[in-house]
Chain A
Amino acid sequence: MSSEHWDRIKEILEQALRLAPAERQAYLDSACRTDVDLRSEVESLIASHGEAGSQFLAAAAADVLQMASPRALATGTKLGPYEIIELLGAGGMGEVYRARDVRLDRCVAIKILPPALSADSDRLRRFEQEARSASALNHPNIVIIYALGLHDSTHYIAMELVQGKTLRELLAAGPLPVRKAIEIAAQVAEGLAKAHEAGITHRDLKPENLIISDDGVVKILDFGLAKLTLPSGELTDMSATLACQTLPGLIMGTVEYMSPEQASGRRLDFHSDQFSFGLVLYEMVTGKRAFQGSTPTEMLAAILRDQPEPIGMQNPDAPAPLVWAIERCLTKEPDKRYVSTRDLARELAAIRDRFSEKPVKQVETRPANLPVQRTGFVGREKEVAAAKELLLRPDVRLVTVTGPGGIGKTRLAVHVASSLVEFFPGGIHFVPLSPVIDPGLIASVIVQTLGIREAGGQPPLEVLKQNLQDSSRAPILLLLDNFEHLIHAAPTVAELLTMGPNLKIMVTSRAALHVYGEHEFPVPPLAMPDSLAVPPVDVLSQYPAVALFVQRAVAVKPDFELNRENAAIVTEICARLDGLPLAIELAAARVKVLSPSSMRTRLASRLQLLTGGARDLPQRQQTLRAAIDWSYDLLSPAEQKLLRRLSVFVGGCTLEGVEAVCDTKSDLELDLLDGMSSLVDKSLVQHFEQAKSESRFVMLETIREYALEKLAASGEKPLTKRAHAAYCLVLAEEEAAEQSGAEGTEWLEHFGLEHDNFLAGLDWLTETGDADWGLRLGTALFRFWETREYLAEGRGRLGKLLKLPGAAAPTKTRARALFAAGVLAAEQGDYVSADALLRESLDISRELRDQQGAAVSLNALAVNARDRGDFATARSLFEDSLALWRELGDQKAVARSLSNLASVVKMQGDYASARSLYGECLLIFQGLGDRTGVAWSMNNQGDVAHDQGDSATARTLYEGALSIFRELGDRWGIAGTLADLGSLAREQGNCASARSLYRESIKVFRELEHKRGIARLLECFACSAAVEQEAERSLRLAGAAAALRQNIGAPLTMAEQAKLEGSLQAARQALTNTAGTTAWLEGWALPVEKAIEEVLMPETASRSDQGIGVRNG
């Protein structure tokens, strides 16, 4: 607004205010003439002037502050039997203190009523009566009042002290998770229902008056208090209501939760609480107020007049029955709300009971992802039993399995965990941490292991919290393996435990974490016989240490056996090796070439014999070190070199990898295959066969650390690391190139297997500042990160690389990496960063005259704009991208680009252009001989015609597409197009035909296991049932579809949601609210297979349902 304009407003305002209200209209007519904006501004200010009254800003600031400072009662002040402890809070309704009831020695809350409120003795009496009767209900969801007292002319209320937070405080962080909202709603409804049954109305229900205790119980506060503040419902008219509520920031809070009958000063009953409750629910679910207004007057007008924005448009996660309940509460006419609040409470309880269960699919036991053990587990029965018992104790949540390297912590933990599968239906998840270098990534690795989707750029710890918090979640066990190098991150583990009661954690670590609640489980060495008094052979072989030696020895030398000759020697070897399993394994592996006696001689020079008494930890570490040294020294120099170089691999490698990294210069002087089998024989490397891919070689962490140390000492580390990074780069770039053409998920598995290596390579490139290779490797990994949804991790790594000093130059490599980071950011919903990254990528491509790069960036920018709803920008960007592809003459890309453009043009409602774009797209695909492309273009054109209401054209196009898909045997196309044809038939009232098309479609989707398609079809069936007046069936199927969508994390878009709701309207109207809710919840609990069976039932059987629908209608 210009200052001149504002001066004019001030003048007119001043003049108008001098006039009597009745004369103002005429004055404004002449002063503002046709300037509508000017007039509405002046009118708005006149209204504000009136509402401000004479008091606003009348007192000077200092006086205001002085008045507002609470004159707190001092600790120890006595009010009757209560002794003040401390002030808990203060507000318009008086101060609240924690106090002690000295008679009963219990803590209470004391609320001091402001003198202004307690002055009217009549009101005070009415309030007292109502507060007492509500409290007398003795309901868990209503705060208990102990006493109303008077002390030195101060009225106070003594009540139950609740430890917790108000709903207002919870809402400060935005909408609540739907489950939590339902839980709170169900409890409040219980309390309200009880009060209403006793004839008590709250009248001032709002988030400030609902308190959620730390153990999850919701309490309603201040029943009856409204009688002190609001004019009595019987007498008010609106002006009176307003008169006492017109100061901003003050009673606004109360106006906001008024019912229409309260707002208009009509008589009110319990229905009014239902409305206020509906407003609270609305806010819990959407995070917004249902009605908006900038002043109390506007607010009241909105309550009386406006319809709130549909809930589904704001939170697609809210289950339909909850939305229906809120809508019903928010009906303007009191008698159209719930006949009794008990009904409402019952409905919400039913929703809670159903909804707190995971939808059927997720109740299934999730298989544990524990690593397969390559050899039998020897001994340790006692330890296993003890560890199991410890882990299953209800008070034990964190068990740390400790011991030196090589003692067998991981094997013990895995063995224990695998015997507990039945106790953890939520899954047992093995999280290997040895490849994780940065303690900050622990949460991210756990998120990935659990297969939870990252959303909206939230920190992984937050994502975990949301997933684990749920108290209804099935018990789950995390096995964090090899924690010792991340010991600084121990608090993260403690934090995880606070997230959910049903989570237990087992950690393996060389040292304890020293966090609260930790139970340490030290792993002892394997039991050994006394080497000075060797028992007979059959007894001896029962000792786990000896048994392990024999087992490993037989593996390399099948004819090895324990006999009277070697028994004493084997026992002594085990004793010298401190009963350390890894050391025993390394020794036993040498049986092929060394007899036990020569082995003993060689070991003896390094290790002193253990003669009774346990050794302490450092000594055992020395023993292990010596055993590895011994084993290493026995290798040939070439084998030693190979072992050292192998240490750069993280998470194992293939033979091809070994070749590329360990023998880059052919300087190994060793046949690789021989070398590797030798290392495997000697137990220094383990060999795993893979079902689908090349077998892999993996080193135990203890050995890898040792080898890495030796590598560093040899001076070969930088070269080998570089060779490793180069190998990773080649592998990733090759796979990435193949992936673009490849079908299926093979490439994903390859990337998954090598991911730890790729990350290690990236780390090294980042550390050494090799920007070029680093950016290339990061870019090659980006599709994998995107598909697996390692969004934060991928973006973080690309971000680090892009910041390297060597990465600043505007090269193609940088442009591609920027593009990758931009797409990942967009997937996280961080559109602002995504835009900036993609813009820079575009700028570089333009600068380099890289048309293709520019076209790709433009397309990504356009998708970004479309996803955030900016269709106009999206359209123009798609057009720019299209123009570039045309210049480049890449026909396939042109066609795809046309299709993208058409989609956004259609969203804009420009059907004519959309059709012609799809038409051009179709011609190109025809020219290219791409039949699939042709069919999809026809299908898309059909969608446009369908949206336009041109059913005949739509049908022709769909049928054309269908016949091509059938020729090609493209089942995805067939299923989708059948569903489209079905919906067309349904809309034309041909339900029988619709059903049969839907049936054929859902059968194909079922074969394809395409869950999204199945959900869509269940929704189609629900809509057609609604048309056919099979109301219960309709809502049941809608519930089943919603459960499936929730399960696979594929919510409907808001527009789709609104459309579906519209189609189900008929079914809802045919049933009572409660019956509708019941039907929907039944569907929610229905296994998907059952739902599919139901819709596939033969015509006659399914028609018999109709009777029920009609009766209810």
Chain B
Amino acid sequence: MAHPPPSQVTKLLQGWRAGDPRALDALLPLVYDELRRLAHYHLRNERPNHTLQSTALVHEAYFRLVGQDFPEWKSRAHFFAIAAQLMRQVLVDYARRQRASKRGGGICTLPLDDAVALPQSKDVDVLALDDALNALAELDPRQTRVVELRFFAGLSLEEISEVTEIATATVQRDWTAARAWLYREISRRART
């Protein structure tokens, strides 16, 4: 895929900040495509022995799309805000495909130990989390944003505070409550 010139993305970010809704409409697919391309590249293990980090991925996308010629941190914050949401989409799609390929991989002759094969020891089922997040959004949209930035974009709590302009203590509180709430929700859903 050809990259849009950095200036175009920069302009769109500025336009969006200035309140032009069309700018966001144009921006989203650009960022989404870039993130998806990067994620795909990393997740397919095309670079063996390289550990992928969400943060790195978003930073890389930012660098590719916006370039280094746009130092204004506020725009960077805005970029992360959408990037986190889009990362969620990218990764959920990825998880879904991963699951589908396991389920539909020809005639299954031997059982899996778990019906859902995704989660490994310390992990969470990304798809289940996605569902739970949708439920959380109805209760508290801000918390959902925090989780997206933390879990999907890989930002630290401080970075989140910077990007969202919410006090770190509040971010911390949101994160703690969201974690407990999501854990309970996922467990409940796994039961039914």
Residues on A close to B: CB < 8 A? 1, 3, 6, 9-11, 13-14, 17, 44-46, 48-49, 51-52, 55-69, 86-94, 96, 98, 109, 111, 116, 161-166, 168-169, 172, 208-209, 211, 221, 247-250, 252-253, 289, 292-296, 299
Contacts and interface: CB of A to CB of B under 8 A. Distances in A.
A62 B54 contact: yes
A88 B109 contact: yes
A6 to B, nearest CB: 6
A57 B176 CA distance: 11
Contacts of B179: 49, 52, 56-57
Contacts of A91: 112-114, 117
A906 to B, nearest CB: 34
B184 A294 contact: yes
A227 to B, nearest CB: 15
Given A49-B180, A249-B125, A65 B186 contact: no
Contact of A45 (B129, B147, B177): B177
A55 B54 CA distance: 17
Contact of A89 (B102, B121, B147): B102
B177 A57 contact: no
A92 B140 CA distance: 33
A334 B137 CA distance: 46
B95 interface: yes
B180 A48 contact: yes
A221 B98 contact: no
A66 B191 contact: no
A11 B182 CA distance: 17
A106 to B, nearest CB: 14
B82 interface: no
Contacts of B54: 60-63
B116 to A, nearest CB: 7
Contact of A62 (B42, B112, B118, B140): B42
- Residue from A11, A14, A66, A87 whose CB has the most chain B CB atoms within 10 Å: A66
Contact of B183 (A17, A51, A90): A51
B150 A252 contact: no
Given A52-B183, A62-B53, A109-B109, A252 B43 contact: no
A61 B117 contact: no
Interface stretch (B25-33, B62-70, B86-94): B86-94
A1 B180 contact: no
A45 B98 contact: no
B128 interface: yes
A48 B119 contact: no
A496 to B, nearest CB: 23
A61 B183 contact: no
Contacts of A55: 122
B122 A221 contact: no
For the complex of A and B, the 5 pairs showing the least CB-CB separation, nearest first, are A91-B113, A166-B111, A93-B113, A294-B188, A60-B154
A808 B117 CA distance: 52
Nearest to A208: B111
A10 B53 CA distance: 30
B121 A247 contact: yes
B102 to A, nearest CB: 7
B105 interface: yes
Contacts of B98: 65, 68-69
Given A247-B121, A293-B191, A65 B113 contact: no
A623 B123 CA distance: 78
A806 to B, nearest CB: 45
A168 B180 contact: no
6 contacts: A10-B173, A17-B176, A45-B177, A65-B94, A93-B114, A295-B187
A463 B107 CA distance: 26
Contact of B43 (A65, A90, A96): A65
B18 interface: no
B181 A45 contact: yes
B167 interface: no
Given A49-B176, A60-B53, A66-B43, A88 B191 contact: no
Contact of A59 (B106, B123, B184): B123
B174 interface: yes
- Residue from B52, B94, B176, B187 whose CB has the most chain A CB atoms within 10 Å: B187
B112 A90 contact: yes
A215 B128 CA distance: 35
Given A63-B51, A248-B190, A96 B110 contact: yes
B9 to A, nearest CB: 22
B42 A66 contact: yes
Contact of A61 (B115, B152, B186, B191): B152
Given A14-B176, A60-B54, A90-B112, A247 B119 contact: yes
Given A61-B91, A62-B57, A295-B187, A162 B180 contact: no
A69 B109 CA distance: 20
B126 interface: yes
A243 to B, nearest CB: 13
B55 interface: yes
Nearest to A289: B191
Given A92-B121, A248-B186, A294-B184, 18 more contacts: A1-B139, A9-B177, A11-B173, A48-B183, A49-B179, A57-B151, A61-B151, A62-B52, A64-B126, A68-B123, A91-B117, A93-B114, A116-B121, A164-B109, A169-B108, A221-B111, A250-B114, A252-B190
Contacts of A299: 191
A94 B151 CA distance: 26
A87 B105 contact: yes
